[in-house]
Chain A
Amino acid sequence: MNKTINQKAWFFVVPVFVLVAFNAAIPLMTVVNYSFQETFGNNVFAWEGTRWFKQILLSERFHDALGRQIAFTFIILLIQIPLGIGIALTMPKKGWGVPVCLILMSMPLLIPWNVVGAMWNIFALPDIGFLGYSLNAIGFDFNFTQQPGDAWFTTILMDVWHWTSLVVLLSYAGLNSIQPAYYQAAEIDGASRWATFRYIELPKMKKVLTLAILLRFMDSFMIYTEPFVLTGGGPGNATAFLSIDLVKMALGQFDLGPAAAMSLIYFFIVLLVCWVFYSLMMKNEVKS
């Protein structure tokens, strides 16, 4: 077939091109611009080369924030993935329980981030919050505004409450797509409950679980609003994760150059982890 060549068709792409330029490319390039220069406002810039990058990569403050971030992401993945699978396994497969469970599970996902932060802030307050007051009443010295351990505990609990549902819903969908014949075959082969999970359910859930881990990694690694409202990064810098630290630097201290460099490093870490994760996943896929 002969295709008519018509370069005018490119005009149809222009709106998308403009949109992407203004909401992604131009802001990103602005950040790149800031990361290599020093500015004191009034559009006066001085070239600094890679100075900000070196400064950030060598700064203890960045190392600490990155360490906290990795620890936080690791802990919530370690809790949410097994917990999510566990809840999905116990959810009913048919009957009136299905819609009830699905609605209950979806609720936390529908609440705006800052509302979640505010809710948990009040809930955990040691003097008036239900959780904080109760913990103190039964003898725990709990105060998340003063003690770093308690702040971590509350932040992790909040994230688990907010996001485990996502893992549950994805796992549940994965479990439901398994043909009944697999369970019947396992029953006939005399497989134990654990073997059925290990050799049928887990392999069949692999795709959705990979997706769940990837989504939870990205979201938790970039978490900002909830800990900002809950603890504001405190006490001290105890819960100042990467994005909270970044905003402090950029808007609190107005160190635009280092903040821009930090943004880019942050961005590349997320990109790198996702890429490595995705490649590993695809490599396994091709093999099997």
Chain B
Amino acid sequence: MAKITLNNLSHSYVPDYTDSDLVLRDINIDWKDGGAYALLGPSGCGKTTLLNIISGLIKPSKGDILFDDKNVTSLNPVERDIAQIFQFPVIYDTMTVYDNLAFPLKNRNLSDTEIDSKVREIAEMLELTSTLNNRASGLTADGKQKISLGRGLVRSDVNVIMFDEPLTVIDPHLKWILRSKLKELHQKINRTMIYVTHDQTEALTFADQVVVMHEGQIVQTGTPVELFEKPKHTFVGYFIGSPGMNILPCQIKNGQINFAGQEIPSNLNIKKNNFQTTQLGIRPEFINFSDKGIPVKIKRVSNTGRHKIIDTECAGGTIKVLSNASTEIPSGSAHINFDKKYTYVYGDNWIIE
């Protein structure tokens, strides 16, 4: 077990790189020992590259990786003592389930009795005991992925266990089961776990701390609640939540927000105003209909069962509003108010505080 520190990490897949070749830029992370963390971002944001750098499969172009303050940047995956589970199940076709689980231990020259007790313990945990003597290649996709998980979990000495979108190939109803199993395992064995995914539900339910990545950069690190209530970057606002945050063009005049010709009340005190673009961010959950306020036209109401999502038109753009399913929605013209506690302003996409 170890705490993990990443210092000014940058990476490019080309040897002589310029700034535009970077797939990761200036990554700084401090992860506590025994925590559950998620790397969340869309495809191509660099999260898998970052994971492979932490595991040692890729050497970073710049920066350092520290496990418990020990620099491991030049060490290979075996020396770093980590476990990694991949997107697609990786199993050794010709071996039985038992031999698959025992393989990482055999390579580390453990005694047979030790191997046997560990393998049986993990098999029990993952409900693989009944298939231990079967050929691994005959299993279903989720059975195979359980073996991959098992091979990662079987070693008790690993510094960190990393998951690279491990539930992609699993059926939706099994996803829930395996995900809660992982959470349960984390509580039981208390090892540092890093989970890479593009699925916000997976990230938010698994992790204590979520790192949101966008175009090779970390845009925000925080608890699921922080990411939801106070997105530090427009991308976080838009990527987390369903529907995402409303990002509306606005002006700053005398420290006040001006949107659609109206002054928007907020708790902010904006001093700096030297941005190319300024935008107002408000989550659909924090908008109410009222008698006065910003005039909008109701365009469409979709009912999801628990909520109503209302598309409104205002100043040539769309503002989404989320209400309870029981709320009466005015038709035609209406007025809306923003909850000023959750109204934020973004200068060049970063929050202004």
> Which residues of chain A have a CB within 8 Å of any CB of chain B?
179, 181-182, 184-185, 187-192, 195, 199-200, 203-204, 287-288
Residues of chain A within 8 A of B84, CB atoms compared: 184-185, 188
Known: A182-B90, A189-B107, A199-B94. A288 touches B138 (CB 8 A): yes
> Which residues of chain B have a CB within 8 Å of any CB of chain A?
52, 55, 57, 76-78, 82-84, 86-88, 90, 92-95, 103-104, 107-108, 135, 137-138, 148, 151
What's the least CB distance linking B227 to chain A, in Å? 29
Residue of A nearest to B93 (CB): A203
Known: A185-B148, A188-B84, A287-B135. 11 other contacts (CB 8 A): A179-B90, A181-B87, A184-B57, A185-B86, A185-B90, A188-B57, A190-B78, A191-B103, A199-B94, A199-B95, A199-B103
Which secondary structure dominates chain A's binding surface? helix
- For A181, give its contact among B82, B88, B151 (CB under 8 Å): B88
Are B148 and A288 within 8 A (Cβ)? no
A203 to B90, CA, bound (A): 13
Are B104 and A189 within 8 A (Cβ)? yes
Are A189 and B103 within 8 A (Cβ)? yes
9 closest A-B pairs by beta carbon, nearest first, are: A190-B107, A185-B90, A189-B104, A181-B86, A199-B92, A203-B93, A288-B137, A188-B77, A190-B78
A288 to B144, CA, bound (A): 13
Residues of chain B within 8 A of A190, CB atoms compared: 78, 104, 107-108
What's the least CB distance linking B87 to chain A, in Å? 7
- For B107, give its contact among A181, A195, A200, A204 (CB under 8 Å): A195
What's the least CB distance linking A197 to chain B, in Å? 12
Residues of chain B within 8 A of A179, CB atoms compared: 88, 90
Residue of B nearest to A184 (CB): B57
A269 to B135, CA, bound (A): 34
What's the least CB distance linking B296 to chain A, in Å? 50
Question: With contacts defined as CB atoms under 8 Å apart, how many contacts are there between chain A and chain B in the complex?
Answer: 56
Residues of chain A within 8 A of B138, CB atoms compared: 288
5 of the cross-chain contacts (CB-CB < 8 Å) are A181-B87, A187-B77, A187-B78, A188-B77, A199-B95
Residue of A nearest to B83 (CB): A188
What's the least CB distance linking A258 to chain B, in Å? 47
A119 to B242, CA, bound (A): 73
Known: A189-B107, A189-B151. A184 touches B92 (CB 8 A): no
Are B90 and A181 within 8 A (Cβ)? yes
What's the least CB distance linking B51 to chain A, in Å? 11
Most chain B CB within 10 A, of A187, A190, A199, A204, is at: A190
Are B94 and A203 within 8 A (Cβ)? yes
A279 to B340, CA, bound (A): 75
A287 to B82, CA, bound (A): 34
Are A200 and B92 within 8 A (Cβ)? yes
Residues of chain B within 8 A of A195, CB atoms compared: 107
Residues of chain A within 8 A of B151, CB atoms compared: 185, 189
Residues of chain A within 8 A of B88, CB atoms compared: 179, 181
A187 to B77, CA, bound (A): 7
A189 to B158, CA, bound (A): 11
Are A191 and B76 within 8 A (Cβ)? no
A176 to B234, CA, bound (A): 42
Most chain B CB within 10 A, of A181, A188, A189, A195, is at: A188
- For A192, give its contact among B83, B107, B137 (CB under 8 Å): B107
Residues of chain B within 8 A of A287, CB atoms compared: 135
Are B57 and A187 within 8 A (Cβ)? yes
A188 to B153, CA, bound (A): 12
